[in-house]
Structure 1
Amino acid sequence: MGPLDIANHLLNFVAPAAAVALVLLLSGRLVGSRSASAMSVWLRGVILFAVGVAVLAAGLVLWGRDGKMLTYAALVVACATCQWVLVRGWKA
């Protein structure tokens, strides 16, 4: 496998985490706190992306392959919980 194939596989592996992080960032004002957050949007995006990649990697280690629906469900739950904590959703 060449370097382009490796890059393609890595990008396809992290694409769901990037998509979930982007959707949460764009819809953050609708479901999140109305007050201004002390954290920048870019920093929240990086944190959400890192949490998503960690969940995907944990699913890969746990089941030995990626693309399991339970891993994607855990990705959504973990990223949504992280977003809730980052925007201080309990204060709404």
Structure 2
Amino acid sequence: MDFLDAFWQVMNLFAPALGVGLIAAGAAKLLWRRELGRVSYLRLALWAFAAGAVVLLGGLLLLGQDGRMVTYGTMVLACALALWWAGFLRPAR
């Protein structure tokens, strides 16, 4: 495996976390406009992406392979918790 193959392998590992993070942050900003008005979209998306990436890495290490449904379900839950934390418990000043 050369460098380019390894690069795309890592990007594909984190792609679900990025997609879920971006979509979940956008949905949260739409659903709770008033409550999340002062919190930036970028902040929410980064928190959700980081939580999802940690869960994907943990799932890879614990289960030995990528793409298990339990990992994806846990990633969605972690993204929701990260959005709750970043948007409601630690709002931007």
Whether TM exceeds 0.5 here: the answer is yes
For residues 49-91 of structure 1, the C-alpha deviation after alignment (integer angstroms, 9 at most, x for no partner) is 11110000000111011100000000001101211222218xx
Equivalent-residue separation in structure 1 for 2:3 and 2:32 (angstroms)? 40
Superposed displacement of residue 41, structure 1 = 1.9
For residues 25-63 of structure 1, the C-alpha deviation after alignment (integer angstroms, 9 at most, x for no partner) is 2111233362323x4221222221111100000001110
* Structure 2: segments with no counterpart, 5+ residues: none
Which residue does the alignment assign to 1:80?
80
Note the aligned Cα RMSD (angstroms): 1.6
Preserved contact between residue 14 and residue 53 of structure 1 (Cα < 8 Å): yes
Alignment of 1:19 onto 2:19 = yes
Query: Which stretches of structure 1, 4 residues or more, deviate above 6 A after TM superposition?
Result: none
Give the letter aligned to residue 73 of structure 1.
G
Between Structure 1 and Structure 2, how many residues are aligned?
Answer: 88
TM-score with structure 2 setting the length: 0.84
TM-score with structure 1 setting the length: 0.84
Question: Identity over the aligned pairs, expressed in percent?
Answer: 35
- Match of 1:67, SS state, is coil
